[in-house]
Amino acid sequence: MSQKIGRNDPCWCKSGRKYKVCHQSFDEKIARIKDAGHIVPDHDMIKTKEQIAGIKESAKINIAVLDYVAGHIKEGMSTEEIDRMVYEKTTRMGGVPAPLNYQGYPKSSCTSVNDQVCHGIPSKNDILKAGDILNVDISTRLNGYYSDSSRMFCIGEVSPEKQKLVRVARECIDAGLKEVKPWGFLGDMGQAVHDYAFSHGYTVVREIGGHGVGLEFHEDPWVGYNSKRGTEMLMVPGMIFTIEPMINMGRVEIYIDDKNGWTAYTEDGMPSAQWEVQVLVTEDGYEIISY
């Protein structure tokens, strides 16, 4: 936790109230849970009301851009065209595509098709065809605040097997959300996601997970989905992170394209599906920020 604050000092959350009537009991509860051997968040993982408001404004753009893509995506379109739509719609609304040039990433979005697990790089050579399933992952920066979410799309007539994978991947999110509540643990959510996927015969990617987001594109904590109840970081009001499990139809193993250094594929060539939501932990549960 942050350095010790006096009872009558202004609270670290910038509410303007004295610490003793604002977050002192909150911090003491976290300290007791830490003393019991659990992982707990630092103050910098807990967003203030002002920060949450800024993140929500960013999310309005993120959602609008995904809605725009949903209204225009079609068979015969290249993934480069999708990326162009993302860039133009985001910038028209006053935002900046967060992935563009992030650690060298060359595009404004990720477009992952069929056996691409995540971080598919848009290309004029990748043309959508009937039967494809596609994840479009976008992130927005607005006035220094970040939002992040993704959706799956079925192109034309898709096989029943792929339709089920896409549906169950979304239901995994719903199963995880039921476990997002203050004073629970990220492992509660992770196990719920894992168990639901496995109950349908699928596997959940281990190496890549969700993350904190809001003041930076990627923040702590890392969010996995092969975890156990009562483990991983404590969830407290004000935390914001993504839930974005990657659900494989086949085996769990993946590999990274050694040519571009970004795109993850399933090792067995079977399809993978992923949805992503950005979630705020509230006093009594959760609020979806971007979806």
Average pLDDT over residues 88-114: 98
According to the model, what pLDDT value does residue 182 have?
A: 98
Residue 33 resides in a domain? no
Interval 8-38: pLDDT, tens: 999 999 999 999 999 999 999 999 999 999 9
Q: What is the pLDDT of residue 2?
A: 47
The dihedral region occupied by 261, where left means phi > 0, alpha psi between -120 and 50, and beta the remainder, is left
Does residue 162 contact residue 180 with C-beta atoms inside 8 Å? Answer: no
Q: From CA 275, how far away is CA 66, in angstroms rounded?
A: 12
Q: What is the pLDDT of residue 3?
A: 60
Q: What is the pLDDT of residues 111-168, one digit of tens each?
A: 999 999 999 999 999 999 999 999 999 999 999 999 999 999 999 999 999 999 999 9
Yes or no: say if 186 and 232 are a contact pair by the CB < 8 Å rule: yes
CATH of the domain at 208: 3.90.230.10
Q: By C-alpha distance, which of 54, 48, 147 is closest to 97?
A: 147
32 is a domain residue? no
Q: Is residue 202 pLDDT above 50, yes or no?
A: yes
Could you tell me which residues come within 8 angstroms of residue 88 by beta carbon, excluding any fewer than 6 positions away? none
Q: How far is residue 82's CA from residue 155's CA, in Å, rounded to a whole number?
A: 13
7 occurs within a structural domain: no
CA atoms within 13 A on the CB side of 233: 20
Q: How many domains does the chain have?
A: 1
Predicted pLDDT at 4: 80
Whether 93 is covered by a domain: the verdict is yes
Burial class (CB in 10 A: 0-12, 13-18, 19+), 140: buried
Which of helix, strand or coil describes residue 141? strand
| 23 inside domain | no
CA gap 65, 71 in Å, rounded: 10
Q: Report if residue 194 sits inside a domain.
A: yes
Give the other-Cβ count within 10 Å of 259's Cβ: 7
Phi, psi of 163, deg, nearest 5: -60, -45
| Domain extent at residue 200 | 41-290
Averaged pLDDT of the chain? 97
> Average pLDDT of 60-70?
98
Dump pLDDT digits (tens) for 203-240: 999 999 999 999 999 999 999 999 999 999 999 999 99
Cβ-proximal residues to 124 (8 Å cutoff; 6+ apart), any chain: 78, 80, 81
pTM for this model (two decimals): 0.95
Domain annotation covers residue 219: yes
% of the chain beyond a pLDDT of 70: 99
Tokens of 15: 């509410």
Name the E strands within 50-188. 96-97, 110-113, 116-118, 133-142, 145-154
**Is 4 inside a domain boundary?**
no
The answer on pLDDT for 1 being more than 80 is no
